[in-house]
Structure 1
Amino acid sequence: MAATEPATPSPTAAPANSMENPARFGLMLALCAAFLFSTKPIIIKWLYELGMTALPLMWLRMMLAMPVYVVVGWLAWKRLPLKLTALQLLKAAGTGLLGYWLASYLDLRGLEYVSAQLERLMLYAYPTLVIILGALFFGQTFQRHHIVALILTYIGLILVYGQDLQFATDHIATTKGTLLILASALSFSLYILFSKNAIGNMGSLLFTSIAMGSAALATMLHYGISYGVSLPEMDSTRWLGTIVLAIFATVVPSFLVSEAIKRIGPAKTSVSGTIGPVATTLMAIVFLGEPFGWLTAAGMALVMLGVSRLQR
């Protein structure tokens, strides 16, 4: 290939390459985050089988992750060339409440009622909500071909929901869980839309630390009101699962997502999680023994097709 390259690069070649490599790296970050996030429902469902419940698990997860965000946030703060205003900090904290407290709590509650496969597909489909909310409230362009993608995605979700109903003993509980996951996806979509400007102002590391820090404080208050100051009953297995959930399915992918948004934008970041539903489905079948039928297969294919059309 070296023989075919010109001796002197064209004036436009260097900028194209300099833009291409950061974009590739941003995509790699987003894909890694998608895979790590795909393990979250598997770990949570396993911990539920061990007797844990949503809010205590969420509280322990946040408390274990909090020291990492404090250290990273402090280091990022010291490197800022210009200090941020109180309003900028409050906006970042409020955005974190949407993405990492409200969305997380709704997600964990929903997982008490639905399969890991349905949960992951519904969260994977949140780019459709980003498109809709972006067009309605953020001045983003909505095009006609988006309609086809939205129809495909939501038909797919209905099919997977039907699969869950087939194997459910309590249809009302399954519907409740589905609505909770949908509300979680809505909350996370707002987080994605609001986070872009904040990340641009303060950088992904500091923004994520502030967002997760505010969510951790909100979770601590939420848990204190509901359970007081007592620790949930724990053993070595529960601790191990909770630590893995906090570090590898929370801390690491949260930083990866913020850095990916910084490099390639929220739209491409949101649609890069194609591997998420597939990875979660395989792990749910192997490790949780969840059923897998033609409705799930067809629904997953439609959802992934719909989201991929949004990317194009």
Structure 2
Amino acid sequence: MQHGKYRFIVGFLVAPLALYAVFVIWPFIQAIYYSFTDWTGLSPDFKMVGFANYKRMFEDDVFWKALQHSALFVVLLPLVTLGLALFFAFMINVGGRHRKGAAVSGVRGSGFYKIAYFFPQVLSIAIVAILFRFAYSPNDGAINGALNAVGLDSLAQDWLGDPNVALWSIMAVLVWSTVGFFVVLFSAGMASIPKDFYEAALLDGAGRATTFFKITMPLLWDTIQSGWIYMGILALGAEAFASVQIMSVGPGGPDYSTTVLPLYVWQSAFRDANAAYATTIGVALLVLTLLFAAVVMRLGRRERLEF
């Protein structure tokens, strides 16, 4: 029986593991291999150059700028996005005032708020980036127009043309476009927490802040940790690339102030026709992603709570 069981399990695992190896593992191996060559990406001819691409990368000022910007993305975006999502989800589910017949409830109109927060998820990041590129326009954009209309002319500026604020403007768009997904995710997790826990805390005189930090966060910790890793991968991947590619000047400007690693990989491969160097930067991006996930998993390790 045991032998037959293992054969049955292996039979189900062979196909998905084979597909994973072909379409995920093998491209990683190829990328690492090509990083040791001088391949242009336009010709089948190439030769091995050893660690020349890595030496060039460590001496490349643009790479270090892109690395710094990606590090800001991977630290600040999850922190701000998940913090806002937790606050909104808590208020929607258990942060309302006591009403007759319900000791624990969300704020009034919580159903509408869920839809409103989730709405940006209906739009692709490309559409969101195009809309905000027009909104950030210094002359006829909606943001400067609104500031001028309420007498805050001093705050109006060239949001995407100023090197000091361009990166922060793009990060704000990413927060706006992704926070709704985590509001819904955390709301689903909070809905599964027994109301008895909150009612007992209220009877003991606990306020909103106490119930959030003593009940909600510990019981949602696994979901928060997974969301942190997922958001970090988005910040190092397609979301960051698409937003910077569409919204920034250049793209990546002005003066490389918005260049991130995914964009620099694309520019090296398709603008500069240097696929080998692009794969070298891609390997660095892979290492950064793995380090980020490992750090989050290590720092977020704690005793599992069940209810």
When normalised by structure 2's length, the TM-score is 0.28
Of structures 1 and 2, the one scoring higher in RCO (CA 8 A, sep 6+) is 1
> Which structure carries more helix by proportion?
1
Q: Which has the larger radius of gyration?
A: 2
